[in-house]
């Protein structure tokens, strides 16, 4: 009888502690989910965005410290300028679109048009490290992981096709990171600079990148050098990418 009582008490004790552990992990999970909805500067959320939206390539990040690199620069500009309409051209897995949409969410103001043709490695001559992601997923669900789905609309099409959709629409902030050939980036500039409001900012990724990918030779560096403006700001680092801004 004594042995039976001991076994029973031990079982109940273990069950009790299992229940407490379960409650602990449920609460911990809720706290973690809440953190993912807080300000972008929180380390956990920063690392989540870098990891899930691929901020590693050419964005000057430090994952271990939760430093967003160029992403934080875009975020700060959006938070301060509070643009109504933002255009993002091109992204491998959505790093900059996600961050810019997060800035709009934190502002409770602004909308992002994200344009990507969804090309992948099989489409030779069109791909710039593309993986065809935007044709394979539901973008709204994809960006809902950080709760910004209501601040961003994804358009899976070429920039030439998108430019015809709403010819009168104006933007206050434009980011170009699509076709990296000389002719490709020049076309995107011509398509959208006219849609940039006076005083607005247009930025270009990979202004110092050189070499060749499936899409051909990098040409953003050449275009950036030729671009005449007395309102140009260059961030020529890291050496494999760089970031440039012009103001209209």
Q: Which parts of 165-242 are beta strand (E)?
A: 171-176, 196-205, 212-213, 216-217, 232-235
pLDDT at position 15: 47
Residues 6+ apart with CB under 8 A from 190: none
More confident residue, 43 or 157: 157
The mean per-residue pLDDT over the stretch 165-191 comes to 96
pLDDT at position 42: 84
pLDDT > 80? residue 29: no
Let me know if residue 191 belongs to a domain.
Answer: yes
Is residue 207 within 8 Å of 245, Cβ to Cβ?
A: no
In whole angstroms, what is the distance from residue 49 CA to residue 87 CA? 20
Let me know if residue 18 belongs to a domain.
Answer: no
Q: Which helix H or strand E contains 85, and what residues bound it?
A: strand 85-89
pLDDT at position 215: 67
Is residue 188 within 8 Å of 179, Cβ to Cβ?
A: yes
- Domain limits at 143? 36-247
Among residues 188, 177, 203, 190, which one has the least CA distance to residue 83? 203
pLDDT at position 216: 78
pTM of the entire predicted model: 0.83
pLDDT at position 34: 58
Q: Centre a 10 Å sphere on the Cβ of residue 153 and count the other Cβ atoms it contains.
A: 15
Let me know if residue 237 belongs to a domain.
Answer: yes
What total of structural domains would you count in the chain? Answer: 1
pLDDT at position 120: 85
Question: Distance of CA 129 to CAs 106, 197, 208, Å?
Answer: 31, 31, 17
Among residues 138, 95, 97, 140, which one has the least CA distance to residue 115? 97
Counting every residue written for the chain, the total comes to: 248
Let me know if residue 157 belongs to a domain.
Answer: yes
DSSP 8-state class, residue 238: S
Question: Distance of CA 237 to CAs 122, 204, 244, Å?
Answer: 30, 13, 10
Among residues 115, 98, 83, which one has the least CA distance to residue 149? 98
Is residue 56 within 8 Å of 65, Cβ to Cβ?
A: no
The β-bridge relationship of strands 85-89 and 212-213 is: unpaired
Is residue 196 within 8 Å of 202, Cβ to Cβ?
A: yes
pLDDT > 90? residue 41: no
C-alpha radius of gyration, the chain, whole number? 23
pLDDT at position 230: 84
pLDDT at position 245: 97
Give the pLDDT band of residue 18 (cuts 50, 70, 90). low
The model's pLDDT over 132-177, given as tens digits with 9 standing for 90+, comes to 999 999 999 999 999 999 999 999 999 999 999 999 999 999 999 9
Let me know if residue 11 belongs to a domain.
Answer: no
Let me know if residue 71 belongs to a domain.
Answer: yes
Let me know if residue 1 belongs to a domain.
Answer: no
The model's pLDDT over 62-117, given as tens digits with 9 standing for 90+, comes to 999 999 999 999 999 999 999 999 999 999 999 999 999 999 999 999 999 999 99
Here the CATH number for the domain that contains residue 114 is 3.40.50.150
Residue with tokens 């961003």: 152
Let me know if residue 111 belongs to a domain.
Answer: yes
């Amino acid at each position: 009888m004594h042995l039976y009582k001991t076994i029973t008490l031990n079982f109940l004790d273990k069950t009790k502690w299992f229940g407490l552990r379960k409650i602990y992990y449920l609460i911990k999970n809720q706290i973690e989910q809440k953190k993912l909805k807080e300000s972008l500067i929180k380390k956990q959320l920063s690392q989540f965005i870098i990891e899930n939206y691929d901020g590693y390539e050419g964005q000057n990040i430090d994952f271990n410290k939760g430093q967003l690199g160029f992403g934080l620069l875009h975020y700060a500009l959006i938070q301060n300028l509070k643009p109504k309409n933002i255009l993002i051209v091109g992204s491998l897995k959505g790093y900059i679109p996600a961050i810019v949409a997060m800035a709009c969410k934190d502002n409770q103001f602004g909308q992002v048009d994200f344009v990507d043709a969804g090309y992948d490695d099989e489409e030779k001559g069109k791909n710039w490290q593309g993986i065809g992601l935007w044709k394979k997923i539901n973008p709204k669900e994809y960006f809902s992981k950080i709760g910004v789905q209501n601040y961003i609309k994804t358009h899976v099409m070429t920039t030439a096709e998108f430019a015809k959709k709403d010819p009168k629409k104006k933007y206050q902030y434009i980011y170009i990171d699509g076709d990296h050939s000389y002719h490709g980036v020049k076309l995107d500039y011509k398509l959208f600079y006219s849609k940039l409001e006076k005083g607005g900012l247009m930025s270009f990724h990979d202004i110092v990148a050189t070499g060749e990918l499936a899409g051909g030779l990098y040409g953003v560096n050449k275009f950036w050098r030729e671009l005449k403006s007395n309102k140009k700001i260059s961030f020529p680092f890291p050496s494999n990418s760089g970031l440039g801004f012009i103001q209209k």
